[in-house]
Structure 1
Amino acid sequence: MKLERVHNIADYISKQQFVTIPELCEKFQVSINTVRRDLTILEEEGKIEKIYGGARLAEEKDENTTAPPKNMLRPFLERTVKNPAAKEAIAKAAARLISEGDTIYIDTGTSTTPLLNYITSLKHLNIITNSVKVMNQCLGLPQFNTICLPGVMKHATASVIGDQCLKAIDLYHIDKAFMACSAFSLQLGASNSSVEEYTIKQKILSRSSKHYLLVDHTKFDCSSLMVFAQPNEFDCIITDEKPPLKYQEYFERNEIQYILCGTA
């Protein structure tokens, strides 16, 4: 029975390409520990690759295999394993900018999601978001008024997108928008890999008084598919390492605050 289940899990991952552990638990009616053991077997056989929170189909490796394009969007759970200490430090620094009574927007992203961990002492906030993960975390924070933007769920980014989402944003005025990006450069600005999320990000910025960009050092001097904001559209850049000199000079000329947070 175990071998049959492992075979069925392998077949399921082959069809889905990417799966989460809770998804496998529900699909095959087994415990988390059982799923983890089965995934270990499949990984040792070279059939899948385990990643944070789930697994994906293993890539065939030969001399003709090329790396995926830099602007190809990776699943949200896979991206959470990149620079976790930096993302936590950035979120912690950003949380200090939030005050009682604020109406804030928390963008979909692996740098913005941890924000909630550092604002639990506050009592009165309006939180607007299109992030499914932020919505889920807010279930445990009943002191906040959480406004979940409506629309269609995009599985790769665990976000809500679509015309309904765009129309709903027009109903609100946002004090502070905490934004994420896939890449950031002086030439192109802040960019992301999703055409659908590009329009939502632009709409959010148009409805917000203050714009904060949460971006770790690995995204500087990079570019992605869709540019949603120029560097001078942000009031503050929050990052984990001192940016190159050209960025520091640009921020000073354009009166853009930048906050440097250590990861220690």
Structure 2
Amino acid sequence: MQPSERREKIVALLGRTGEMAVEALAEALDVSRETVRRDLTRLDAAGRLRKFHGGARPMTVPAASLEKEGPFAQRLAQNAEAKRKLARAACRLFKPGDSLFIDTGSTTVALAEALAGLDGLVVVTNSPRIAATLAVNPSHTLFLIGGAYSADAGESLGPLALEQVGKFRARHAVLTAGALDGSSVMDFDLQEAEMAKAMIERADLVTVLADHSKFDRRAVFEVAPLSRVDTLVTDAHPSEAMTRALTAANVRILTP
């Protein structure tokens, strides 16, 4: 494939998806990440796309795309390496004997894989996949929340699930986020937002896991104001404006 043809394919891919990570582009085009980065640099300079740390997006992203989230399988593949890195960083926050609520998300799936290497945690989750991942380590104590089952993300939601969350107290609530702006943490799904809120209410400390693609975005449902978040674990430092907002809210920023 000629470089010019490859670059046109990159522009076309971004036009369909709205945003892609370098790793995903390299896999789709069967080239190295270094080649993709060089192409993105040239395309950005030519005004064909907008490059950011770890990926790129079209120059013009339809407003509707900022208000929705893709299917769970697609989200698992997006920014996968960044999510693994921030998951490993988040592990430093926990020690044996700690109790954690963990909600369902592509980043918390990566966290569960990292936490499996620790010992002696008590975990309450609404994700069968997260529970099964942690169960490979018999030192963990696991509680799986039941309720109405959502097949896309593989999670329990709804009134029965929220009622069960209310029976627990935990030291930490570890949550994913659909979007963050200068005032709050948000989600694209009402029931997922309700689950996160319920976990926050029953936890002492709140940790949000969010890769850089979630910054300076908005979603429909507010989960919590930034002031309720104790630690944000991410793969790259937010923008200057976002950093100021996090600092003003006394949110600790933890990166790999």
TM-score by shorter chain over 0.5: yes
Aligned ranges for residues 218-233 of structure 1 at < 5 Å? 218-233=213-228
Aligned ranges for residues 66-215 of structure 1 at < 5 Å? 69-187=65-183, 189-215=184-210
Q: Does the CA contact (< 8 Å) of 1:216 and 1:241 recur in 2?
A: yes
Structure 1 residue 78 displacement after superposition: 1.3
> Which residue of structure 2 lines up, in the alignment, with residue 244 of structure 1?
239
Could you tell me which runs of 5 or more consecutive residues in structure 2 were left unpaired when the two chains were aligned: 1-61
Counterpart amino acid of residue 93 in structure 2: L
Structure (1/2) with the larger helix percentage:
2
Structure 1 residue 197 displacement after superposition: 1.3
Counterpart amino acid of residue 159 in structure 2: D
TM-score (norm 2): 0.72
Counterpart Cα distance in 1 of 2:243 and 2:196:
25
Aligned partner of residue 119 in structure 2, secondary structure? coil
Structure 1 residue 118 displacement after superposition: 2.3
Q: Following superposition, which runs of at least 4 residues in structure 1 exceed 6 angstroms of deviation?
A: none
Work out which of the two has the higher radius of gyration on C-alpha atoms and give 1 or 2. 1
| Superposition CA RMSD, Å | 1.7
Counterpart amino acid of residue 229 in structure 2: F
Structure 1 residue 232 displacement after superposition: 1.2
Counterpart amino acid of residue 122 in structure 1: L
Q: Does the CA contact (< 8 Å) of 1:74 and 1:156 recur in 2?
A: no
Counterpart Cα distance in 2 of 1:115 and 1:181:
14
TM-score (norm 1): 0.70
Structure 1 residue 257 displacement after superposition: 0.8
Aligned partner of residue 80 in structure 1, secondary structure? helix
Could you tell me which runs of 5 or more consecutive residues in structure 1 were left unpaired when the two chains were aligned: 1-65
Counterpart Cα distance in 1 of 2:99 and 2:176:
18
Counterpart Cα distance in 2 of 1:241 and 1:253:
19
Counterpart amino acid of residue 115 in structure 1: L
Structure 1 residue 196 displacement after superposition: 1.1
Identity %: 23
Counterpart Cα distance in 1 of 2:173 and 2:125:
10
Aligned partner of residue 209 in structure 1, secondary structure? strand
